[in-house]
Amino acid sequence: MSATPQPNEQALRLHAFYSGKMQTLPKCAIRSMADFSMWYSPGVAAPCQAIAHDPDLVYEYTNRGNLVAVVSDGSRILGLGNIGPEAGLPVMEGKALLFKHLGGVDAVALCLRSRNEDEFIRAVEMLEPSFGAINLEDIAQPGCFRILAALRERMDIPVWHDDQQGSAVVALAGLVNALAVVGKRLDSVRIALLGMGAANSAVCRLLRASGVAPAQIVACDHRGVLHRGRADIARVQTLYPDKWALCAESNPDAITGGPAGALRGADVCLAFSAPGPGTIEPAWVRTMARDAIVFACANPVPEIWPQAAHEAGAKVVATGRGDFPNQVNNSLCFPAIFRGVLDVRARTITDSMALAAAHELAAFARDRGISEHDIVPRMNEPGLYPRVAVATAMAAQAEGVARLSVSREALLARATARIAAARGATEALMREGLIAAPPAA
């Protein structure tokens, strides 16, 4: 079975034509050279002195409250692996583009040349005065877990690892709606997790926060099914405490072996593992329960092609790709989640906030109708990102981690206006020729 061709040649041509995807432009009026006396010296001294007296005024007098750092070490880029910080920069720029276009959030791509976790943590920690939030991206495990935990503890602004938390939010939203389509309940299905890296570790945490019992889960990493006898995980349990806990608490039938055993009788397969095809065999899908749900989320190639999964008996199939139905991709949530946390100046992003975002995503899709081929929203659906932003911001206020108290109506108006302004600015630059039309192929 052939895949949809990847636009590699076109991507190279256009990246070279534009020299990347992001630039910096003023947001203030510049009517004449005299204005620089206000925006820079001597006028700039006034906001500087005000902030020195009251540091919270930095959010009023600068762009910090709408600025995110997208930080990576290049150690686990998409499906490409450890290709280094320079090679990872196009991905971080792409992330910044999605932040701006989908969430109205300004973002800066920062790739650090560091393989030392403590050094990386300290470098990111030192960025705090300039940014309203931190988005960690494409960092290999197990370092990604410790880095996230350390920075969340040390920093007084939200720190989010999108490969973990963003993937989990959208996967949960998709699963809620997929179960609604097939008429099953989250608290009674058996769930197979294939791949226990950053994404499925966070998926597992959100599933349990949603009421899923460990006994409903059978997990499988690259060495096989997790169970109490996994001595290899026991030896590194300090590096992988959540994984070791899953060995002890899940898989009550003590299934051993590989993914074939994990999938046998399962209602749901949530795969964030090695790119396929062939990582999941159609024969294994045939052994799953009636009306099975298969999320094959590896990029750039899913663990099993959707058509093959359907032919093997799966009722609902999702992937991480936009050229198939049911794209389970973190781009559906992170711009909105950051929009929400920035608009109430949240100090962190809790699991309750992530759950609120996931359930709003699912509700948005249900409000306009879902089916086996349409369980999650699409990136271009009007109103999606403001709604999820509001849900996140309201949850932050309910949790007591927001610095500002803002009504639902005001949050919706602000998010809608910010996102519209970002898109309108790009459209205006294109219309005026200041962003050139791409050359013909």
For 171, list phi and psi in degrees, rounded to 5.
Answer: -60, -45
User: Does residue 108 contact residue 100 with C-beta atoms inside 8 Å?
Assistant: no
User: Which residue among 21, 59, 61, 95 is the active-site one?
Assistant: 95
User: Which residue among 18, 21, 40, 240 is the active-site one?
Assistant: 40
For 333, list phi and psi in degrees, rounded to 5.
Answer: -125, -40
Kindly state the tokens that stand for 438.
């791409």
Confirm whether 184 is a catalytic residue: no
Catalytically active residues are: 40, 95
